[in-house]
Structure 1
Amino acid sequence: MFKDILLVGVGSFVGGSLRMVISKYVQLAIAGSFPLGTMVVNVLGCFLIGIFASLPSDNGGISPAVRLLLTTGFCGGFTTFSTFMNENVGIIKGGDGLTTSALYVFASLALGFLAVLAGRQLVISLR
């Protein structure tokens, strides 16, 4: 368990650091207020987790430890959006269907948005 925590921690550190660099670079290179840097990171993270989650684990493929480092660690630190999207693919592939996946997407986005608003309102009301 401790080894897994270290693998995820190292991957998260690298992924989070790279997220900051890429996001800032893209945002500085493109004028405007649209958060293109974050969008680029999210889409790139989805692409990478698709690759990492699909790599074979048998006959010379990657070990479960390397998969954990790359998916939960690196991609999780790079962007949790990639994990969110990968989980949706898993829901569909697992047989739970498009309806369950759509419900997960909608509920996550709606509740996440409301939670951000609630957190902001809490801070404003405490001032």
Structure 2
Amino acid sequence: MITPITARAIIGVYLFLSERGYDLGRVLLVGIGGFIGSILRYLISGWAETYFSSNIPMGTLLVNVSGCFLIGFIMEAATAVFPLSAELRIFLTTGFMGGFTTFSTLSYETAIMLSDGSNVLALINILLNIGLGITAVWLGRICAQILA
């Protein structure tokens, strides 16, 4: 049930965005994409944490690396394989991938490792996420180029 306060907040956001010239359809696409991506991240992260026994947060690593592969593939495919509309690209990249991947959780988990004195583990966590992430973007782009 939408309360009067919630309704006023929604109207306020609508007016704020429309007065500033935002395309509200695109804003909605980003929101829907983020909603779907966040739910999928939650499900995959939960599954990974119960499936893998590791001191490295495998759920975060899994969503970040797979998200890097997907964004590399999507962006390369959008230019090299088949053109995507601006709306679909925004939905997939800013929306879905923005909700699916998580830099803030990576940072938080690494900060906890550092505060617990697990400096080597924290460094490994950072290197895995960044190194594998960049490699995954590269592989995603190559896969899209192969389809071209």
Would the TM-score normalized by the shorter structure come out above 0.5? yes
Highest Rg: 1 or 2?
2
Q: Return the letter of the residue paired with 1:65.
A: E
Q: Distance in 2 between matches of 1:65 and 1:5?
A: 10
TM-score computed with the length of structure 2 as normaliser: 0.51
Partner SS for 1:33: coil
Q: What is the Cα deviation at residue 33 of structure 1?
A: 3.5
Q: What is the match of residue 98 of structure 2? A: 76
Q: How has the CA–CA distance of structure 1 residues 80 and 32 changed in structure 2, closer, same or farther, with 3 Å as cutoff?
A: closer
Runs of 4+ aligned structure 1 residues displaced above 4 Å come to 57-60
Q: What is the Cα deviation at residue 57 of structure 1?
A: 5.2
Q: What is the Cα deviation at residue 58 of structure 1?
A: 8.8
Q: Distance in 2 between matches of 1:45 and 1:60?
A: 20
Q: Which consecutive residues of structure 2, in runs of 5 or more, have no partner in the other structure? A: 1-22, 113-148
Q: What percentage of aligned pairs have identical amino acids?
A: 43
Q: What is the match of residue 28 of structure 2? A: 6
Q: Which consecutive residues of structure 1, in runs of 5 or more, have no partner in the other structure? A: 82-108, 118-127
TM-score computed with the length of structure 1 as normaliser: 0.59
Correspondence 1:61 to 2:87:
no
Paired residues of 2:60 and 2:102 also in contact (CA < 8 A): no
**What per-residue deviation string (whole Å, max 9, x for no partner) do you get for residues 63-106 of structure 1?**
0100000000000010154xxxxxxxxxxxxxxxxxxxxxxxxx
Q: What is the Cα deviation at residue 27 of structure 1?
A: 0.7
CA RMSD of aligned residues (A): 2.6
Q: 1:31 aligns with which of 47, 53, 58?
A: 53
Q: Whose RCO is larger (CA < 8 A, sep 6+)?
A: 2
